[in-house]
Chain A
Amino acid sequence: MGKIVHKENLSENVFKLEIEAPIIARKRKAGHFVLIKIGDQGERIPLTISSANEQKGTISLVVQKVGVTSHKLAALKAGEEVTDVVGPLGQPTEIEHKGTVLCAGGGVGIAPLLPIVEAMKAKGNKVISVIAGRTKELVILENEIRAHSDELVIMTDDGSYGQKGLITAGMEEIIRNHTIDMAVTIGPAVMMKFTSLLTKKYNIPTIASLNTIMVDGTGMCGACRVTVGGMTKFVCVDGPEFHAHEVDYDELLTRLNAYNDAEQSALENFVKETDV
């Protein structure tokens, strides 16, 4: 359990790990996540399962280098082990036949979107996907998303690939030209704030998958709490997916910064130590 069987870089700061986790590979559904920890002194962080191979007994995780733990993960090579992997956690995505589903993923959020795109398509929906990044090399998993989508639109902030513009611009164009029955949005919290505002304007039921700080990930610590529809919810056991229009994104954005100072200095120390 936890052995890395394959690793590849998707962009400069984003990489994909395929790790041995046979039981999780068998049990996971779209929307599920795992908690991982590296070494005895590591922290526990949540990562959404991007895909799984039941025959090989592996799951794939797509990780962006942000803090100490993701940097430590990036430093591991194929054949090495992730000390602790536990899951699958959270509630799976409700996959139903809705008609036409708009799937919007930004940056590293494209990875957790992939299993949903796949499952929505398999359920007989028409899937229109929009994937976006600041620049060309941050648009990941294009072929995989394309393979399960009826249409695919790519957006980059700088126009280096696909169409130039924000993800919302690409989405709005699709919404105007199609009848959309449901939308799914995954990406940075600030992106989801605006994609939610957009689909709310058009009255499209929308699901957002939230990524928050967690410690245990099993409903114990409450670090992941968010306000949804005026109620406090726990992302680890009630989520990670919620009705996008009911999420208090400003609170989510604030809470993501809770440990910023400590994380920043820890990362600087880590980079300093590993460079020497």
Chain B
Amino acid sequence: MMNDPRNEPWREALRKSMKARERTLLERTAMNEVPAQTRRTNYDEVNTGYTAEMAVQESQRCLDCKNPTCMEGCPVNIDIPTFVKQIEARNFAEAAKTIKQTNIFPAICGRVCPQEAQCESTCFYTAKLNKPSVAIGNLERFTADYEQQSGHVHIPEIKTVNDIKVAVIGSGPAGLAAASDLAMNGYKVTIFEALHEFGGVLKYGIPEFRLPNSIIEQEISVLKEMGVTFIKNFIVGKTATIDDLKEEGFEAFFVGSGAGLPRFMNIPGENLIGVLSANEYLTRVNLMGAHKPGHDTPVLYGKKVAVIGGGNTAMDSVRTALRLGAEKAMIIYRRSFDEMPARKEEIQHAKDEGVEFLNLTNPVEYKSDDKGRVNKVILQKMELSEKDASGRRRPVPIENSEYEMDIDLAVVCVGVSPNPIIPQSITNLELTKWDTIQVDPEQFNSNIPGLFAGGDIVRGGATVILAMGDGRKASAAMHQYLQKQLVTTDN
């Protein structure tokens, strides 16, 4: 490639400044974190980030591969070797610009992406050397935080501004990513948010000890500077329909309305007081500030808390329970550590903070006191079957293994169904059998012309970065669609 940034003189010189063998001998730089005993009592962010020295040291490990396989693992195709080498060259501001070419929210992604299953899993170190990968996620986070602290935040360039109005429904990761790309392409973007604050699951779902609200605010303020209009307390499908918005001149729509209805297990006692969904528990705390003085929303302070599930939401819930004063905070998961869908780092953090793991265990019933408050859960032991046709080992109940355990709060984190409001409000919108919006897997367009969708309303329940990837791909397709419309009208 002629303009391959890898061939630039500074980068060639940098590669030669240290032998590849020397680089591979360096140990992966561990993330700084607040000690478990201190952090389990407060809401401060657990990971405190790299210093500049640590970041440079870590970036030296990167071999600047000719064929950077790490990029294949990134859903938004960040130019990973370029930004990592810019860090090594101590050109931190440029590194931030590089990331922001394809990912406008590095401070968020650097914190919540499952890098170990993405870029870091395809890094040369993991794939070929059987060594810990370059800490790409930690470096991304460092770059974003450095830029933020420098006070010179790079606002992406906007191409020629046009007068075409585009609506983004939902201000979660999918919507924010779509809005940013649409704004860069010059469209007049309005984000409609149902809640009273912006950020979607980043705000109501992910706790502040993992992603501080101030980080979300910063990223949103960049979008505002790019000219994106934010409207809160506005439920598309209720406050106004898609057709109403069309009448107001909106020409294309991106639906990122997210996951909705929490799933329960349909076992006896699940509607008792003190059995609640992770969405309710986390929203009360993260969005409504129930644990802070002066806030009106109440939350139940459990002493013996059972959290059902093994995903990131379960880890967030169980660690929240600790911070709300639980003496015993337990994960109850029907499979084993190997199958747990949560990020390894989150599982480790939970262990460090004193969370108990009851794996290969499943609740079968909740019992209550005479006021209808949960006071016991009946648990059943499970074992894993041989691999079935899908290659997964299914959990199978062990007969007569039931036992009772005292609890005073149960948080159910076994998944969510898509939010029904938008699908219900659009006639003839094609849905899948899971009630998610049916879209083209590349273009993200639905069967309704001009209506695109991405994130959990399409995937059912996925990650922040996959939602962002959807938002970006959809916005590229929306750009094409709108340009085509323009040509058609001109003729």
Contacts and interface: CB of A to CB of B under 8 A. Distances in A.
Is the A/B pair a real complex? yes
Contact of A262 (B261, B298, B372): B298
A247 to B, nearest CB: 13
B325 to A, nearest CB: 14
A87 B273 contact: no
Contacts of B52: none
A88 B237 CA distance: 10
Contacts of A64: none
A3 to B, nearest CB: 14
A83 B259 CA distance: 26
Nearest to A72: B296
A263 B298 contact: yes
B238 interface: yes
Nearest to A231: B266
A53 B117 CA distance: 55
Interface stretch (B22-30, B93-101, B282-290, B383-391): B282-290
B261 A219 contact: yes
B231 to A, nearest CB: 10
Interface range, A side? 35 or more
B298 A266 contact: yes
Interface in A244-263: 251, 254-255, 257-259, 262-263
Contacts of A258: 273-274, 300
B288 A215 contact: yes
B419 interface: yes
Contacts of B261: 219-220, 222, 234, 237
B280 A221 contact: yes
Interface in B321-362: none
A226 B270 CA distance: 11
A216 B280 CA distance: 9
B113 interface: no
Interface in A60-114: 68-69, 72, 83-89
Nearest to A224: B280
Task: Determine the main DSSP class of B at the interface with A.
Answer: loop
A6 interface: no
B196 A220 contact: no
A85 B195 contact: no
A37 interface: yes
B262 interface: yes
Given A222-B279, A255-B271, A88 B260 contact: no
A43 B235 contact: no
B464 interface: no
A223 B280 contact: yes
A1 B234 CA distance: 12
A84 B232 CA distance: 9
B66 interface: no
A249 to B, nearest CB: 13
Contact of B194 (A43, A218, A232): A218
A99 to B, nearest CB: 30
Nearest to A83: B196
Given A237-B261, A255-B273, A218 B235 contact: yes
Interface centre among A27, A221, A234 (most CB of B within 10 A): A221
A26 B66 CA distance: 61
Given A84-B233, A232-B271, 6 more contacts: A27-B239, A83-B196, A219-B420, A237-B260, A255-B271, A266-B296
Interface of A: 1, 23-24, 27, 37, 41-44, 68-69, 72, 83-89, 215-216, 218-223, 225-227, 232, 234, 237, 251, 254-255, 257-259, 262-263, 266
Nearest 3 CB-CB pairings of A with B: A262-B298, A254-B372, A221-B280
29 contacts: A1-B233, A23-B239, A43-B297, A44-B196, A44-B288, A68-B296, A86-B239, A87-B239, A88-B239, A89-B235, A215-B283, A216-B204, A218-B195, A218-B235, A218-B419, A219-B261, A220-B261, A221-B262, A221-B279, A221-B283, A222-B277, A222-B279, A223-B280, A254-B372, A255-B273, A257-B273, A257-B371, A262-B300, A266-B298
